[in-house]
Chains A and B, each alone.
Chain A
Amino acid sequence: MATRPLLSIAAVSGLRAALLHSRSIPRQCYSASILERRRKKAKDGLYNSRNGTVWVWPNQKRHYCTSPSENETENENISVTYIGKDGERREVKGKVGDNLLHLAHRHGIDMEGACEASLACTTCHVYVENEYFDLLPEAHEEEEDLLDLAPFLQENSRLGCQVILTKELDGMTVTLPKVTRNFYVDGHTPQPH
């Protein structure tokens, strides 16, 4: 007789455990200990279901980033300020050898890098503050060729993935160009027809 409630408890626990592995239970139903175990799994990268999702907790935004995040180290002492497309300023710290594209991604700054820094696109185009622009080594021919295609090109335009941080660039500000319209190779604006 005593075994019947025990069996029922076991059955419900089993059923609950089975349902836990689907995403269909609202998060509020979980006990604290189960949440803790799953948080650890997500952090360790172990809880990746069939289609690669990572569980998120209530009130935590899923940070969809285009490149893996890395931990900050003690050598990060070069301050760079990014001014976004909407004028928002963000000051971040990088280290010698970082390039502006990967630094932006590490800090969740909205900068595209379609070709992943392989000099095959212009999506990481930035304007470098003039006094710092002069401190940069001259752009290679390959970079200059790509910059020809960048909309709203300016004298102080560079590709973010080619700007490598050095100590002298501490305090630099870079601005992301505004979203663009159609453009032609020679800056021609099509006449309405």
Chain B
Amino acid sequence: MSWYISAVKCLSRSFKSNNAALSGGRRGLTRIAIVGSGPAGFYTAHHLIKQCDDVRVDIFEALPVPFGLIRFGVAPDHPEVKNVINQFTTLALTDRCRFIGNINIGTDININQLRSYYNGVVLAYGAEEDKTMGIKGEDSYGVFSARSFVSWYNGLPGYENLNLNLSSGDTAVIIGQGNVALDIARILLTPLDTLKETDICSHAVDALSFSKIKKVIMVGRRGPLQVAFTIKELREMTKLPQCKTMIKHKDMLPYKDIISELPRPRKRLTELMLKTSSDGRDISNDDNVLELLFCRSPMEIIARNEITKGIKLEINELIEDANGGNTTAVGSGEYETIDCSMVLRSIGYKSRNIDPEIPFDEKLGIINNSKGRVVNNGTTINGLYCSGWVKRGPTGVILTTMNDAFETAGSIIEDNKNGMLPSSNTARDILNDIKGFEPVLFEDWLKIDEEEKRRGELVGKPREKIVSVLEMLQIIKNNKN
């Protein structure tokens, strides 16, 4: 009997020692927590895990579902852009990466608590607010941020009941000339039959079926050479069925001769705009129209009984910098008014600070950092990093965020090699210590994923997104066996 007991003791000893290793204790594992499961979070994890054998990454997400803007930002008619989800899914299924959803860092757990469990924490929570125009009437009914419109059709929980004013007029004005503005214009003007086959939310399809919007005007503060959208998206717009893209020929003429001197990306884009420009006589009454309007700044929303009826714009003059710097727009004092029932402002997203311990620059809307290492008044905070839009500002595509995340991961790897990462106060797993929360693990998300695909199949879509957090948690409970 005694050898039986000693055998069990030997086994339980080895059990304990390996458990400690998994928690980053004796075997020297480096444990990193990432706040945010969008492209920035996942690409940082991807780079860390690929380059280091002894790193374990936990990715925290406030929602029960991962992938951030890939799921909630990329337009439903651009499914190829979302292919990167496959790569992230493979990563989340390895034993070196753990997804922990439905935990809000900042409110459920604060940064200092999180830092006590990990050797390093990466803030990659992006930008969940948007810039405002700061003009009179901006709170009228009919004025929305582009961000909330995108969240609405992409099913971000909390936006499904956005009360859009799609049926009281035929003109919508978008302030901003970036890719997000083009996405919204395209969703408003694409024939519904095409949209119905994408993963756009069904509440959006229902609302758009009542839409009377036939004309979308994209207003930019400066001129054709300063548009922020890219050529692929503009080309897609010009090929949209039953829709004409209207660029006034007289707006493009001043640039006809200098196009060849421009750098390649700007040159090709301006060439396409020149080719597309016309005098407007080829547009019939049946066509939907996307019109690009340059050198206009929003001044005031014209509202009656707090309902948007139009927008007053100031006409700008462009001042080119003699030294080749930025071209600036200066108001000329002349105004024009456009009648419209909906105004969407697409002038940029904005990050917010989730914890007072984080040195956040309110003016720039980013966390103070150098190469991803968080800096407070010139001093680098050991073990705190940032990645993605919260690090460099809310611009760029997935490629830019990928390179940015790789830079942060590179800083972490360097610090780890030089012994600069603080040791965590405990070798315990944070999930064992937090009480009263319902963390959602990756296999739980896979159940939600399966259910969304099943529902989508019933209506001929790739998936029918679930938009209620309670429903998501209920599906997980129902499938726990």
Residues of A within 8 A of B (CB): 8, 11-12, 15-16, 19, 22-26, 29, 50-53, 61-62, 64, 66, 110, 112, 114-116, 118-123, 141-142, 144-146, 148-149, 151, 153, 179-183, 185-187, 191
CA distance A51 to B91 in the complex (A): 11
How many A-B residue contacts, CB cutoff 8 Å? Answer: 130
B268 touches A148 (CB 8 A): yes
- A-contacting 9-mer, from B138-146, B156-164, B259-267, B298-306: B259-267
Question: Chain A contacts of B228 at CB under 8 A?
Answer: 185
A145 touches B231 (CB 8 A): yes
Expressed in whole angstroms, the minimum distance between the Cβ of B222 and any Cβ of chain A is 13
> Which chain B residue shows the least CB distance to A155?
B264
Contacts A114-B398, A114-B402 given; does A182 touch B83 at CB 8 Å: no
B262 touches A116 (CB 8 A): no
B84 touches A25 (CB 8 A): no
B81 touches A120 (CB 8 A): yes
Expressed in whole angstroms, the minimum distance between the Cβ of A100 and any Cβ of chain B is 17
Question: Chain B contacts of A116 at CB under 8 A?
Answer: 80, 83-84, 86-87
**Which secondary structure dominates chain B's binding surface?**
helix
Partner of A144 from B1, B11, B225, B268 at Cβ < 8 Å: B268
**How many B residues face the partner with a CB closer than 8 A?**
56
Question: Chain B contacts of A145 at CB under 8 A?
Answer: 230-232, 235, 268
Q: Is B53 an interface residue (CB 8 A)?
A: yes
A16 touches B262 (CB 8 A): no
20 contacts between A and B (CB under 8 A): A15-B8, A19-B11, A24-B14, A25-B14, A26-B14, A26-B17, A64-B94, A118-B80, A120-B80, A120-B81, A121-B398, A141-B235, A144-B268, A145-B231, A145-B232, A145-B235, A148-B264, A149-B230, A179-B407, A187-B266
> Which chain A residue shows the least CB distance to B441?
A51
Contacts A145-B235, A186-B263 given; does A114 touch B83 at CB 8 Å: yes
> Which chain A residue shows the least CB distance to B262?
A186
A25 touches B269 (CB 8 A): no
> Which chain B residue shows the least CB distance to A149?
B230
Interface string of B154-176 (1 = CB under 8 A from A): 00000000000000000000000
Partner of A51 from B8, B86, B225, B442 at Cβ < 8 Å: B442
Contacts A15-B11, A52-B93, A118-B80 given; does A24 touch B398 at CB 8 Å: no
A115 touches B84 (CB 8 A): yes
A12 touches B94 (CB 8 A): no
Question: Chain B contacts of A22 at CB under 8 A?
Answer: 15
Expressed in whole angstroms, the minimum distance between the Cβ of B191 and any Cβ of chain A is 22
Partner of A25 from B15, B94, B396, B402 at Cβ < 8 Å: B15
Q: Is B443 an interface residue (CB 8 A)?
A: yes
